[in-house]
Structure 1
Amino acid sequence: MTKRKNIIYSSLVVAGILIILNFISSVFFFRADFTEDKRYTLDRSTKRILREVETPIIITLYVSDNLPPDVNRTVQDLKNLLTEYNNYSKKKIDFEFINPNANEELEQEAIEAGINPVPLEVREKDQIKVQRIFLGMSIQVGDKSEIIPLIKPGIVMEYTLSTLIKRLTIKDKPKIGYIVGHGEPALGKLEQAIAELSVLYDVKQIHLLSEPDLSEYKSLMLIGPMATISSTQLSRLDKYLAGGGNLFIAIERVNGMLNDGIGVSVNTGLETWLQTKGLYVDDSFIVDKKCGTVTVQQQGYFSYPQQINFPFLPVISKFSNHTITDGIETVVLQFASPISFIGDSTMNYQPLAFTSDISGKLKAPISFNIGRIWRAQDFLYPDLTVAATIRGNMGGEKEARICVVGDGNFIVNGLGASKIAIQRDNINFLANAVDWLSDDTGLMSLRTKGVSSRPIKEITDARVFFLKYLNFLLPLVLIIAYGLFRFERRRRKRTKRMKPGFIK
């Protein structure tokens, strides 16, 4: 009887503890995240956005039932993410799930919201059939709304969701001025960059001579000017910086013309003006063994395309510890120039990005030879700086900031047939730089969240040679050593047996 009472008592205690823990977990949300990139932990940028939410947000997920396991895992992760969003926003986010395949009315509602069904191949009983599914989301704040027509497995959903919420809830976007009139690429050629910046900023094209008041812009951007910038215009930049302005510059110090086979210097007056601020941009072409490729047509019995390493396209993966480079993994440049500091201690100089240990520079003008055999003496300048910042008082009492990249085309998509997709981290670098210049954390840390690139670490030719022969010779050495050991052991046994009085 006593034993039965103890069992009942223990059961009641356990049940009571579970009830208390369940109540505590409903009030205080906690989850441990042991992943390297903290993919299951809300980023500080997201938390800041959610804290600023004032208007209720309605999120509707149009998701079909009976999804394949990999897709269903994505949906489950999204549900968990929305639960965390709701908790951090103090219950200002309301979300619901709708299965449009349940009836025609719900299907029509999803389609009217801008979410259309997509075909999905599903393996069932050793057969492949095409299933028509819905996998989208609608976000509504007041009378404004945004949609995600297709939730793709593997994407960083937190960034997409936080970006849309920020876009819907932001009231007055700070102004960013994009300077034109000196051969800069048109805004249409910066499609990816402008799309990213437009989430937080109102990007406006401006002329330095006709703009009445530059102080209303949080930051100015000067991307790849190719024509002369007059002293009057540079004086306006001086006045803007003296008032505590901020300037992002992507300078095209050299121009590589592959079709003509030559590379020349570019002189706009900007390079001389930068020297007065303490930044020197050399009119040299950076070459790096860690580089991108170009496609050439190989001639023989047949003509076929071949990818060839082109050191004039440096791949940058070495960054200093700075807010701008937080989470940046790989930036790809083309015809870049090195940057050095020639100022004094009154300015705070910070290099941001560097070439690899095997890099060099060639003074313009040069001739291009795609088939050139590159040798060790071509890479005598390791760790060249390709991006840097300076900050301090520049003619006034307020602190001004400048960020410079030694490549004017690193974010240019182009137009029409020549349009290209830009490396994602190139865009992230620009957006982070504008956030830093504008003194706005924005989505800075969230842009680069998630593993996007894990390149194999390059090793030197000497180490390759060593490892090659180590792999070849080490097994032979071990076999010979073992044979000598066996031989010596057997020799000792024979010697011992030959001694007088030996008894086995």
Structure 2
Amino acid sequence: MTKFNIKQKYILILLSIITVILLNLIFYFGFFRLDFTKGKIYSLSKPSKKLVSSLDEPVYIRAVFSKVLPEQFKFIRLYVEDLLKEYRQNSRGKIKFEFIDPLQPNPKLSQQEVESMGILPIEFSVVEKDKFEVKRGYMGLALLYKDKKEVIPVISNIEMLEYDITSAIKRLTMKQKKVLGVVNVHRCDTLSADDYTEFKEQIQKLYDIKQVDISSTSLNQTDALLVVSPKENFDDKELFFLDQYILSGKPCAFLIDRYNINIQSFWATKIYSNIFDFISNYGVEFFTDGLVVDYQCQKVSLRTQQGFFVMENIVDYPFMPVITTLNKDHPLTKNISQVVLPFVSPLKIKPGLKDISYTILMETSKYSFLKKEVFSINPLTIDFRPDKSAQKGPFIVAVELKGKFTSYFSDDEKFNKLQINVPDRLKESKTDFSRILVFSSGFFTQKEFTLLGNIIDYLLQEYEFVSIRSKKVVPSAIKAVPDIIKILYRYFIMFSLPAVVVLVGILRWYFRKTKVVVL
């Protein structure tokens, strides 16, 4: 080897070492991540970046994590560190964080100080010296801004971690909470059942939720209104105040069932309420009868008694359509891949709307049809085949209407019957931006909390939280396939392999025969 080659070899080694050192320094002090997931679920969303970039004062985040954690929790610490680095990078230095382990010798914060902040210890089992031991650890965050504090006591769900952190920063920096009114008359669903407990805990961190009687002054103390599944008639005075609320420019969402569903007895009773006629005044009508049957649907588990045995059946339930046709340009639905709307009825846009625009948010699949005169809804006994006269889908099941609405009581004679004195009565919308949301199911609110949360965020114009909450790994729905296609696939798979074997045998026989003839 020549002297020149030896020198060149050492130069290459030196350059390689320098390159490795420089790359390590770049990756240590700099930060970037590549996210190839659909919806960028592991990257900081634009609304979070916008929020932290507008901070006027620093937000200090204390990440309290124990170094000794079970293997299944160690990746959470790495994920939290990466996420906090991304917050810091987009905050122009206003987000500052540090990791603290109160279980280490001479910690910056003691266990007592950490727990007084609201970060709770967790207990877990580990194997040491061939025996199980119960140990304590910490996985929580404390966010400090001026004289305010927000705490995430235990990080148990990284899927919602960005939402939790961003909403905590929002709470720290907001001056006043907005108020959501939930109508509590005429057997409306008031979101007060046990099923809503966890959901309401999250929502109430950002907004005040207030049950309102729409005939009282409490209605005017809200920023948006939610009307869920009324089952009785409203009196005219209540409808008047609701009408004036909409015309004043405050947003309102109607999540309305056409049938009252008793899921225990599998029985449906048609709802007769003047709320349907009231909503039609603003541009959208409910079909007078029937529920949507959709073969693209949710499966349900049912137990039946057969003699001494209890049998569990998993069956398709076409009265629970899986909606995959969602408006991808609308902030409320663009990040949702699918949603289940149980016991839904079709909506129809009224023709000839003036000064009102509408946006279709959701539609059923092309495999849907309208089933009229519904009473029993038992999936084991009902015939889900369409009649020849059945109206075929897809059907509109959710819509937004915007514009300059005309009052439901614009007719003076109709208004005078109310016998109330309202000096500043509105006959049409104050602005061109009055808006209402109409969903032809209220039953979904018991399970589809992402959609319900998006509706609330959208009504209160906190659009950033709509996109953050919807960042989830949701499996795409399998499209419904006609029975004839399934049969063809089945027979193709059944006979294709034997056919290939026979074909190979024939070809081999043919070539061997040809070879013999040539010889």
1:202 matched to 2:208? The reply is yes
Show CA shifts across 1:221-256 (max 9, x none): 111111211233223333233332311010122112
The structural deviation recorded for 1:94 is 2.6
- Deviates further, 246-255 or 291-300: 291-300
Distance 1:5 1:483, change over 3 A: closer
2:335 maps to 327
Q: Quote the residue 2:441 is aligned against.
A: 407
Q: How far did residue 366 of structure 1 move?
A: 2.0
Q: 2:351 aligns with which of 331, 343, 346?
A: 343
State the distance in 2 between where 1:113 and 1:340 align: 53
Read off the aligned partner of 1:163 and give its amino acid letter.
Answer: S
How has the CA–CA distance of structure 1 residues 125 and 316 changed in structure 2, closer, same or farther, with 3 Å as cutoff?
farther
Q: What residue in structure 2 maps to residue 41 of structure 1?
A: 43
- 2:69 paired residue among 67, 70, 83: 67
C-alpha separation between the residues in 1 aligned to 2:157 and 2:134?
18
Describe how 1:59-98 pairs up with structure 2 within 5 A: 59-98=61-100
Q: 1:265 to 1:71 in 2, by over 3 A?
A: same
The equivalent position to 2:235 in structure 1, one of 210, 213, 230, is 230
Corresponding residue of 1:500: none
Per-residue Cα deviation, 1:345-393 (whole angstroms, up to 9, x for no partner): 5322222122233322222452334422645436863322221111121
Give the corresponding residue for 1:315: 322
Residue type of the alignment partner of 1:173: K
1:315 CA drift (Å) = 2.8
Q: 1:370 to 1:153 in 2, by over 3 A?
A: closer
Counterpart check, 1:492 vs 2:492? no
1:344-363 alignment runs, 5 A limit: 344-346=352-354, 347-363=356-372
Provide the residue aligned with 2:164 in structure 1. 160
Question: 2:300 corresponds to which residue?
Answer: 293
Give the secondary-structure state (helix, strand or coil) at the position aligned to 2:307: coil
**CA 1:38 to 1:212, structure 2 compared with 1: closer, same or farther past 3 Å?**
closer
CA distance change for structure 1 residues 128 and 22 in 2, over 3 Å: closer, same or farther? Answer: closer
Whole-angstrom distance in 1 between the partners of 2:489 and 2:313:
29
- CA distance in structure 1 between the partners assigned to 2:179 and 2:493 by the alignment: 60
Distance, in Å, in 2 between the alignment partners of 1:278 and 1:372 is 37
453-462 or 337-346: which moved more? 453-462
Distance 1:210 1:66 in 2: 57
> Alpha-carbon deviation of 1:77?
1.6
Q: What are the superposed Cα offsets for residues 247-277 of structure 1, whole Å, 9 maximum, x if unpaired? A: 1010122112345553222122110112222
Q: Are 1:293 and 1:313, in contact at CA under 8 Å, matched by a contact in 2?
A: no
Report the Cα offset of residue 472 of structure 1.
0.9
Tell me the equivalent position of 1:415.
none
Task: Using the TM superposition, name which of 8-17 and 338-347 deviates more.
Answer: 8-17
- Name which of 155, 180, 186 aligns with 2:184: 180
- In 2: Cα distance, 1:438 partner to 1:344 partner: 29
Q: State the SS of the aligned residue for 2:55.
A: coil
What is the deviation of 1:13? Answer: 8.1
**1:443 and 2:465 aligned:** yes
Taking the aligned partners of 2:518 and 2:5, their CA distance within structure 1 comes to 74
Counterparts in 2 of 1:229 and 1:301: CA distance versus 1, 3 Å: same
- 1:479–1:32 Cα change, 3 Å: closer
Structure 2 gaps of 5+ residues are 406-427
* Residue identity matched to 2:489: L
Task: Give the Cα separation in 2 of the matches to 1:193 and 1:31.
Answer: 31
- What is the total number of aligned residue pairs between the two structures? 484
SS of 2:281's partner is helix
**Structure 1 residue aligned with 2:226:** 221
Contact kept? 1:200, 1:442, Cα under 8 Å? no
Decide which moves more: 351-360 or 400-409.
Answer: 351-360
* Amino acid in structure 1 at the alignment position of 2:92: K
Q: How does 1:92-111 map to 2 (within 5 A)?
A: 92-103=94-105, 106-111=110-115
CA distance in 1, matches of 2:24, 2:312: 63
Answering whether residue 151 of structure 2 is matched by residue 147 of structure 1, we say yes
1:416 corresponding residue in structure 2: none
Q: Distance in 1 between matches of 2:42 and 2:266?
A: 50
2:119 equivalent to 1:115: yes
CA–CA distance in 1 between the matches of 2:64 and 2:461?
Answer: 38
CA contact (8 A) 1:254 1:364 kept: no
Shift of 1:213: 6.7
1: CA distance between counterparts of 2:399 and 2:268? 24
Moved more, 444-453 or 430-439: 430-439
Q: Percent identity?
A: 28
After superposing the two structures, state which structure 1 stretch, 387-396 or 341-350, moved more. 341-350
Deviating more after overlay: 136-145 vs 245-254:
136-145
Q: Tell me, what secondary structure is at the counterpart of 1:188?
A: coil
Task: Assess if the C-alpha contact under 8 Å between 1:286 and 1:361 holds in 2.
Answer: yes
Distance of 1:244 and 1:363 partners within structure 2:
37
**Aligned counterparts of 2:384 and 2:176: Cα–Cα separation in 1:** 55
Match of 1:418 in 2: none
Q: 1:175 to 1:381 in 2, by over 3 A?
A: same
Deviation (angstroms), 1:312: 2.3
Closer/same/farther in 2, CA of residues 110 and 438 from structure 1, 3 Å limit:
closer
- Does the 8 Å contact 1:139/1:145 carry over to 2? yes
SS class of match (1:314)? strand
1:367 and 2:376 correspond: yes
Corresponding position of 1:248: 253
Residues 6 and 308 of structure 1: is their aligned pair in 2 closer, same or farther, counting only changes over 3 Å?
closer
Q: Given that residues 279 and 343 in structure 1 are in contact (C-alpha distance below 8 angstroms), is that contact kept between their aligned partners in structure 2?
A: no
**Aligned twin of 1:390:** 401
Structure 1 CA distance, aligned partners of 2:488 and 2:286?
Answer: 39
TM-score, scaled to structure 1: 0.84
Taking the aligned partners of 2:384 and 2:458, their CA distance within structure 1 comes to: 40
RMSD: 3.3
Q: For the Cα contact (< 8 Å) 1:196–1:431, is it kept in 2?
A: no
Aligned-pair CA distance for 1:304 = 4.5
